[in-house]
Amino acid sequence: MREPSIDIKTEDAVFLAVNQPLDLRATIDSGQVFRWRWDGDWCYGVIGEHAYSMRQADGGLLVRSSATSQMEVSGPVADFLRLDDDLEDMLRDLANDTPLANAVKRWQGLRILRQDPWECLVGFVCSQVSNIPRISRNMASVAEAYGERVELDGRFLHRFPGAERLAAAGEDGLFALGLGFRARYLAKIADNVANGDVDLAALRLAPYGEAKAALTQMKGIGDKVADCVLLFSLDKMEGFPIDRWVMRALVDWYGHEEKARYGDLLSWAQERWGNRAGYVQQYLFHHRRLMG
DNA sequence: GAAGGGCCTTTGAG
DNA sequence: ACTCAAAGGCCCT
């Protein structure tokens, strides 16, 4: 039996009104981000320079942060959660799409996040032939080894180290953190980003195809990882990452062949769902992974 | 150009 | 102890 207690963390928390469907738990736990941690109803993580904790509350969110001004608290959080997306509008017609309707109904409020592109890129290069718990460990190792510390609620979080840092760490430094064969890719990718060969910020403004080409030209980034980065950090809502789970959904629920080519499935999904494809993918992924 | 197979590290589950 | 799977991709036939 739990003792009634005052939640001291709600003191001096900022209230952020949310007039959008939001399931914070499902969103944070849907394999988009790998460095957020739960402590009861509060989740802790880093957005940009600052550490944040947030908790779902009636009509919105309670947010605490190492940032000092209220603007620095609500702005980045609203941006991160893509509260500018009209989720109801995005998902409205999908109730007629039977297999999808179940997922949408079950996980209503699962949102696509708008992450920092560099951290997102590293996370999904790490995701190759891995699993979410391990990716999380890898990302924590990288941040603890090379990122600056930020304090919040007496706990220490880490900013994600920039490309220059990881380029300096090199393949050996990254391999030592347990990244396996991914260390080689990441060292080179870090180099490309650090020296300006690839400008991630610029890709946010570029069209989908152009941005994807810029990403996949780097070794270690194929169709799938690129689509994750495009969707989760570069505002390309037509991105449709197809991993094992989404593939199973496409085969079992939409009659595709197991051997279908990535590009053909991608075109099919984008034609069917347009700029909602990214959201559709996230609901399919989450539902299939957790419900089987 | 397309398709298939081996290989790349590590971890945990069964 | 051994096999399989895990938000894949590269490289060589």
| pLDDT tens, chain A, 292 aa long | 444 445 667 777 999 999 999 999 999 999 999 999 999 999 999 999 999 999 999 999 999 999 888 778 899 999 999 999 999 999 998 888 988 999 999 999 999 999 999 999 999 999 999 999 999 999 999 999 999 999 998 999 999 999 999 999 999 999 999 999 999 999 999 999 999 999 999 999 999 999 999 999 999 999 999 999 999 999 999 999 999 999 999 999 999 999 999 999 999 999 999 999 999 999 999 999 998 7
CA distance A118 to A201: 9
Nearest to A64 by CA among A130, A138, A116, A7: A7
Q: What is the pLDDT of residue A9?
A: 72
Classified as helix, coil or strand, A39 is strand
Whether nucleic acid strand C comes within 7 Å of the CB of A239, the answer is: no
Contact A154, A188 (CB under 8 A): no
* Predicted pLDDT of residue A1: 43
Residue A7: per-residue pLDDT:
63
pLDDT for the residue A236 = 98
- Closest by Cα among A64, A27, A77, A32 to A155: A64
Spanning CA of A90 to C1' of C10, the rounded length in angstroms is 36
| Rounded Cα–Cα distance for residues A79 and A49 (Å) | 14
Structure tokens at A188: 């080179």
The pLDDT score that the predictor gives to residue A8 is 66
Q: How far is the CA of A214 from the C1' of B9 (A)?
A: 27
Q: Give the Cα separation of A113 and A232 in Å (integer).
A: 6
Strands (E), chain A: 14-17, 37-39, 42-47, 50-57, 60-65, 149-152, 155-158
CA of A225 to C1' of B6 (A): 22
CA-to-C1' distance for A49 and C8, Å? 31
Are A47 and A76 in contact by the 8 Å Cβ rule? The answer is yes
Smallest Cα–Cα separation from A142: which of A163, A114, A156, A117? A163
Q: How far apart are CA A292 and CA A287, in angstroms?
A: 7
Two tokens, residue A200: 């991630």
| CB of A261 within 7 Å of some strand C atom | no
Structure tokens, A182 = 């991914």
Is the shortest CB-to-strand distance from A34 to strand C under 7 Å?
no
β-strands A149-152, A155-158 pairing: antiparallel
Q: Which nucleotide is nearest to A184 (CA to C1')?
A: B8
